[in-house]
Amino acid sequence: MTPPRSNGDGRTGRQRRRLTATEVDLDVVRQRALLVGTGAGTRGADEAEASLDELALLADTAGAEPVEQVLQRRDTPDPATYIGKGKADELRGLADSLDVDVVIFDDELSPAQQRNLENLFARDVVDRVALILDIFAQHASSQEGMVQVELAQLRYRLPRLRGRGLTLSQQGAGIGTRGPGETQLEVDRRRILRRVTKLERDLARLASTRATQRKARRRRDLPTVALVGYTNAGKSTLLNRLTEADVVVENRLFSTLDPTTRRLRLPGGEVVLVSDTVGFVRRLPHQLVEAFRSTLEEVADADLLLHVVDASSVEAEEQIAAVHEVLREIEAAHVPELVVANKQDLATPDEIDAVLGAHPDAVAVSAVTGEGVDKLLEQVASRLRALARIVELSVPYDRGDVIAALHRDGEVLVEVHEQRATRVRARVPDAELGRFREFLVG
């Protein structure tokens, strides 16, 4: 085995990889990372390069320092090494010359590919899925978040277990105990499966609690609005601007994982619940989607989605497409959507116009400065009123307060003055319908 390399600071490479998250945050030391992409399955070179640039942001968020990016165009991955034996040998020399600690691939590697590459490079090899899982593990703070992340990690690691064959097998000297017995690999696999079963039970219990909370909110008949969008699009900043939620905001990918729900009063006086959700990303690992399904049900159960878009990004449309892909995966594509072109303070007029042109009903805002937020609230109120039930009421002439309340809390479509009462056809939110029940017709 190759001995650990010294880093000139008294630590070996292996010791450097074990530093705590606090030390990484303080930039005491950071892993040096070589990033590798092939563009397999992408539409073109531009998209492959954009994906590799995003991988660099993910690596930085995880606490590594990307020192070099290598893009190899391939139609199909090599079954043994993903990049081919010749390219792998070339990258081994590059990794040695750059003194990198870890090689990060922009796609999911099979267990065999990862094992072959680690043997060849004599250093850690990580794929995109493991990198995102590591970031989620760093940022999970609630009990549910930590359970979800651990479950996703174990599901990812299970097919990648590496035993040492028969060298750690259980053997005995008595009758019935001779032979290879159970290998360490089988022991590890059984231990992980047992842990997965326990975490699934815990997650089911937490999901039941979350479902009960959603039912309680539904009983209060308050409309729900969910903030969705690509990671780092500004969802948490917008939630803070709208509701003074005091959610942690960082210029990093996946800075918030745990959903936050706050009350918001709209310009017409209506009260709605607004929920922040985990950010999405291209090729979000399916292990995470499955583990976070109970959390993401907040999105599928919402009355309206505010799709927050970083209008200053040159990849705004690609990010919108990535979010729509995840929404389809969690069966939330049917929920009405309002696109919010955020970061108006950073985007150029042409970038804002590009988003608004592609999405005519979109609203441009700056969650940092508050510009455009009033128009956004008006749009939210209008969209929710449009979703409200249309009812017909007969209101006596001496109940002018009811007519005023219908205009204030609903949307009056038709108002006809008859002989003894005013006949009104209006959209009325479910939360307000009970106040007018005695005047309903039919």
Helices (H) and strands (E) in the chain, counts: 16, 13
Distance separating alpha carbons of residues 366 and 354, to the nearest angstrom:
16
Written as one letter, the residue type at 188 is D
Same domain, 236 and 379: yes
- Is residue 195 domain-resident? no
In a domain, 214, yes or no: no
Same domain? 331 vs 406: no
**158 inside domain:** no
Same domain, 414 and 433: yes
238 and 381: one domain? yes
pLDDT tens digits, 124-143: 999 998 998 888 888 777 77
Q: Look at residue 430 and tell me if it is in a domain.
A: yes
Count of structural domains, the chain? 3
Residues 249 and 341 in one domain: yes
For residues 96 and 26, state if they share a domain.
yes
Mean pLDDT of 405-412: 83
pLDDT at 166: 41
Compute the average pLDDT of residues 386-402. Answer: 88
The answer to whether residues 415 and 357 belong to one domain is no
Determine, yes or no, domain membership for 151.
no
* Residues 378 and 301 occupy one common structural domain: yes
On whether the CB atoms of residues 120 and 88 are closer than 8 A, the answer is yes
Please check whether residue 370 lies inside any domain of the structure.
Answer: yes
Cα–Cα distance between 403 and 412 in angstroms, integer? 9
Tell me if 197 is assigned to some domain: no
Domain that holds residue 427: 388-439
Judgement on whether residues 88 and 72 belong to the same structural domain of the protein: yes
* CATH number, domain containing residue 249: 3.40.50.300
Q: Are residues 410 and 342 in the same domain?
A: no
Q: Does any domain span residue 79?
A: yes
pLDDT in tens, 60-116: 988 899 999 998 888 788 899 999 999 999 999 999 999 999 999 998 899 999 999
Task: Give the start-end residues of each E strand in 98-180.
Answer: 102-105, 124-126
Please return the burial class of 129, using the count of CB atoms within 10 Å of its CB with bins 0-12, 13-18 and 19+. buried
CA distance to 48, 146, 177, 257, 327, per residue, from 139 (Å): 27, 9, 46, 7, 22
Residue ending a domain, among 360, 385, 410, is 385
The answer, yes or no, to whether residue 24 has pLDDT greater than 50, is: no
- 293 and 405 belong to one structural domain: no
Q: Last residue of a domain, which of 367, 385, 403?
A: 385
User: Dihedral, CA atoms, 233, 235, 240, 241, nearest 10 degrees?
Assistant: 70
One domain for residues 286 and 413: no
